């Protein structure tokens, strides 16, 4: 039985009042609840994407001893709105020899791929829109649409820079899926389930209960996952698909206006999604630091705040890495994936399996403190 | 009702994209329509309560097969790369004519009739599918079946896949004396 936000809310009294308002039509009420929650999540994530561009510019300025955007609004906070208005009002240029159908489709596919992952995003123990039993698997599967979008965007532009960027993007995303998925598999092995609810519920309490500190193998797996996830989101030092020193701007060179905006927005939201997944799998997710068994609705909001704060901290690390490390070469990129990350990830998986058998699934902290 | 509407939309996506796939002449567009069809089939699985199969469908076909197809289209040389091979009728294999069309039509007719004959007994006896808002989970059942009842088939297919993997690595490996 998959838990959803509707089945979570149906525990409370006000659900029955709402059901009465809808004349007892459960399907309609479920549809309305899903619609409202989807609108809230998409609105929130679009804001996160916009704030991501702002944070990127501010933090990069900070790291380079500059000030960054500071003219529009307080601390330049409204800069993202100005950027958005600029992108919307720009002329939408279609290259003469472009494949029009695919050219229009690619940015939409990128956004669809990212927004579809939000369906299983574990905001809190109850507010996950749908806590599928195959949650992580679904997330890994549906996010491959972004790779396809990058590839199609590069192909349909009919430009050599775009083509090279698209090819690089597709091969990079396919390659790095392997270490990322193997690292996730190690956690699935520990948690005994693929649903985010199952995984997060087992990391209750203080940080030594988090899966990253469960055993030495998961500690390594976190860094493998994080490196692979950086590459999958095309972030520096793995931003070869849009390497501006070689490929102008890579797969999105020919895109203008809001179509370019869609690609950029998809990238920034995907970074947030990846940070959130890392938090849910390794860093305790939305759990409170204390064990409270009371089911109390406002606590869910506290959990959401905890989750978003953790994800935002990882978001900062991602930006920090981008402005610290130089870009890799293509051959280095591939050798890191196939010669280092993949063998390490397989080693971790086997190590986790042996640990589960040898110590009966106890974490390192449980073995030391013995509780 | 909600799930029924989703089922209808998925079916519409599947059939619509399949027709567009066959109708378009651009092979890249065909690949993208195939993606739509496969996503629609995943939606059908999901609305019928097979969540794991739906996700596996997305994972394998959208993430793997369609991207591989696009790569294959890119890496083969377009119209300069016409095959000279001929089939039994003395025709180039990719070209359609009245012979191939009628042969394919006959084969698909036989195929459909056999399938209808096979399925009809199941459809007649099985209870009608009721749609609910509850989404059942099939992961643990599938896992138990794979590891207990069908473990031999499971292991054999994994050996087959390993063989394919090693074969691909050997074919792609650079020759030593070149």
Range of B147's domain? 138-178
List beta partners, residue B57: none
B66 at interface of A, judged by CB pairs closer than 8 A:
yes
Q: What is the pLDDT of residue B178?
A: 58
pLDDT at A74 over 70: yes
| Residues near A272 by beta carbon (within 8 Å), at least 6 away in sequence | A45, A48, A49, A52, A311, A315
For chain B, the distance separating the N- and C-terminal CA atoms, rounded to the nearest angstrom, is 65
Interface test with A, best of B1, B2, B43 (most A CBs within 10 A): B2
Q: What is the pLDDT of residue B37?
A: 92
| Residues near A4 by beta carbon (within 8 Å), at least 6 away in sequence | A128, A129, A130, A131, B135
Structural domain count of chain B: 2
Q: What is the pLDDT of residue B127?
A: 62
Q: Which of A27, A122, A141, A142 is nearest to B6 (CA)?
A: A27
pLDDT band at A326 (very low <50, low <70, confident <90, very high): confident
pLDDT at B167 over 80: yes
Cα–Cα dist B37/A361, whole Å: 42
Which chain A residues are within 8 Å of B63, Cβ to Cβ?
A: 140-141, 144, 147, 174, 177
Which chain B residues are within 8 Å of A6, Cβ to Cβ?
A: 133
B67 assigned to some structural domain: yes
Range of A281's domain? 94-369
pLDDT band at B78 (very low <50, low <70, confident <90, very high): low
- Chain A / chain B CB contacts < 8 angstroms: 89
User: CB distance B133–A137 less than 8 Å?
Assistant: no
Cα–Cα dist A250/A242, whole Å: 4
Characterize A325-349 residue by residue with b for buried, 16 or more Cβ atoms within 10 angstroms of its Cβ, and e for exposed: eebbeeeebeebbeeebbebbebbb
pLDDT at A1 over 60: no
User: CB distance A148–B67 less than 8 Å?
Assistant: yes
B105 assigned to some structural domain: no
Structural domain count of chain A: 1
Cα–Cα dist B88/B102, whole Å: 15
Which percentage of chain A shows pLDDT scores above 70? 98
Mean pLDDT (chain A) is 83
CA angle B110, B42, A276 (to 5 degrees): 165
Last residue of a domain, one of B36, B54, B77: B77
| Range from A152-161, B33-42, B97-106 that averages highest in pLDDT | B33-42
Cα–Cα dist A34/A129, whole Å: 7
User: CB distance A133–B51 less than 8 Å?
Assistant: yes
A155 assigned to some structural domain: yes
pLDDT at B109 over 90: yes
Q: What is the pLDDT of residue A290?
A: 75
Q: What is the pLDDT of residue B160?
A: 94
> For residue range A32-63, what is the model confidence (pLDDT) as tens digits?
888 888 898 888 888 888 888 888 888 888 88
pLDDT band at B45 (very low <50, low <70, confident <90, very high): confident
A293 vs A119 pLDDT, higher one: A119
| CA A367 from centre of chain | 33
Q: What is the dihedral of CA A84, A85, A89, A94, to 10 degrees?
A: 0
Range in A205-209, A251-255, B157-161 the model is least confident about: A205-209
B61 assigned to some structural domain: yes
Range in A14-28, A128-142, A307-321, B31-45 the model is least confident about: A14-28
Which chain B residues are within 8 Å of A146, Cβ to Cβ?
A: none
Q: What is the pLDDT of residue B82?
A: 56
A345 assigned to some structural domain: yes
Q: What is the pLDDT of residue B14?
A: 92
User: CB distance A151–B58 less than 8 Å?
Assistant: no
Which chain B residues are within 8 Å of A140, Cβ to Cβ?
A: 59, 63
The reply to whether B2 and B71 lie within a common domain is: yes
A68 assigned to some structural domain: no
B63 at interface of A, judged by CB pairs closer than 8 A:
yes
> For residue range A272-311, what is the model confidence (pLDDT) as tens digits?
999 999 998 888 878 877 776 666 777 788 888 888 898 8
User: CB distance A148–B62 less than 8 Å?
Assistant: yes
Give the ipTM of the model, two decimals please: 0.80
B34 vs B177 pLDDT, higher one: B34
Q: What is the pLDDT of residue B156?
A: 93
Q: What is the pLDDT of residue B92?
A: 59
Which chain B residues are within 8 Å of A132, Cβ to Cβ?
A: 51, 55, 135
Q: What is the pLDDT of residue B96?
A: 66
B32 assigned to some structural domain: yes
- Classified as helix, coil or strand, B21 is helix
B60 assigned to some structural domain: yes
Average pLDDT over residues A335-356: 89
Average pLDDT over residues B84-103: 68
User: CB distance B133–A142 less than 8 Å?
Assistant: no
> For residue range A59-71, what is the model confidence (pLDDT) as tens digits?
888 888 888 788 8
Which percentage of chain B shows pLDDT scores above 70? 80
CATH number at residue B39: 1.20.120.1200
Q: Which of A188, A228, A234, A220 is nearest to A338 (CA)?
A: A228
């Amino acid at each position: 039985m998959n838990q959803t936000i509707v089945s979570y809310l149906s525990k409370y009294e006000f659900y029955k009042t709402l059901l009465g308002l809808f004349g007892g039509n459960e399907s309609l009420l479920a549809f309305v609840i899903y619609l409202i929650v989807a609108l809230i999540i998409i609105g929130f994530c679009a804001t996160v994407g916009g704030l991501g561009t702002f944070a990127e510019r501010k933090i990069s300025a900070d790291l380079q001893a500059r000030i960054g955007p500071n003219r529009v609004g307080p601390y330049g906070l409204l800069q993202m709105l100005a950027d958005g208005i600029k992108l919307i009002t720009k002329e939408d240029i279609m290259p003469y020899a472009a494949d029009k159908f695919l050219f229009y489709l690619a940015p939409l596919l990128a956004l669809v791929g990212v927004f579809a992952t939000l369906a299983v995003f574990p905001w809190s123990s109850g507010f996950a829109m749908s806590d599928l039993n195959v949650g992580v698997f679904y997330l890994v599967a549906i996010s491959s649409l972004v790779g396809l979008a990058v590839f199609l965007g590069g192909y349909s532009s009919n430009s050599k820079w775009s083509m090279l960027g698209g090819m690089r993007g597709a091969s990079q995303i396919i390659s790095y899926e392997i270490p990322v998925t193997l690292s996730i598999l190690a956690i699935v092995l520990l948690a005994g389930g693929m649903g985010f609810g199952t995984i997060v519920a087992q990391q209750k309490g203080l940080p030594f209960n988090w899966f990253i500190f469960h055993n030495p193998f998961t500690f390594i797996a976190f860094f493998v996952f994080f490196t692979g996830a950086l590459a999958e989101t095309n972030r520096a030092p793995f931003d070869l698909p849009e390497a501006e020193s070689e490929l102008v701007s890579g797969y999105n060179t020919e895109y203008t206006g809001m179509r370019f905006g869609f690609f950029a927005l998809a990238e920034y939201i995907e970074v947030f999604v990846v940070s959130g997944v890392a938090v849910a799998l390794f860093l305790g997710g939305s759990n409170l630091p204390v064990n409270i068994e009371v089911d109390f609705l406002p606590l869910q909001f506290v959990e959401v705040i905890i989750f978003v704060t953790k994800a935002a901290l990882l978001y900062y690390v991602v930006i920090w890495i981008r402005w610290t490390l130089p870009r890799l070469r293509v051959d280095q990129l591939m050798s890191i994936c196939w010669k280092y990350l993949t063998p390490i990830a397989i080693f971790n998986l086997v190590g986790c399996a042996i640990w589960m058998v040898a110590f009966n699934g106890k974490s390192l902290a449980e073995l030391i403190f013995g509780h | 009702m909600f799930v029924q509407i989703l089922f209808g939309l998925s079916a519409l996506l599947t059939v619509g994209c399949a027709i567009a796939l066959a109708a378009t002449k651009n092979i890249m567009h065909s690949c993208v329509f195939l993606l739509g069809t496969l996503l629609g089939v995943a939606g059908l699985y999901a609305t019928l309560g097979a969540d794991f199969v739906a996700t596996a469908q997305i994972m394998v076909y959208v993430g793997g097969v369609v991207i591989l197809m696009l790569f294959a289209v890119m890496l083969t040389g377009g119209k300069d790369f016409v095959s000279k091979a001929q089939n039994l009728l003395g025709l180039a294999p990719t070209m359609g004519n009245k012979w191939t069309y009628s042969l394919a039509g006959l084969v698909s007719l036989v195929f459909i009739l056999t399938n209808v004959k096979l399925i009809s007994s199941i459809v007649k006896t099985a209870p009608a599918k009721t749609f609910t808002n509850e989404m059942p989970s099939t992961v643990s059942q599938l896992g138990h079946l794979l590891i207990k009842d069908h473990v031999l088939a499971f292991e054999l297919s994994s050996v087959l896949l390993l063989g394919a993997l090693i074969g691909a690595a050997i074919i792609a490996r650079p020759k030593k004396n070149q």
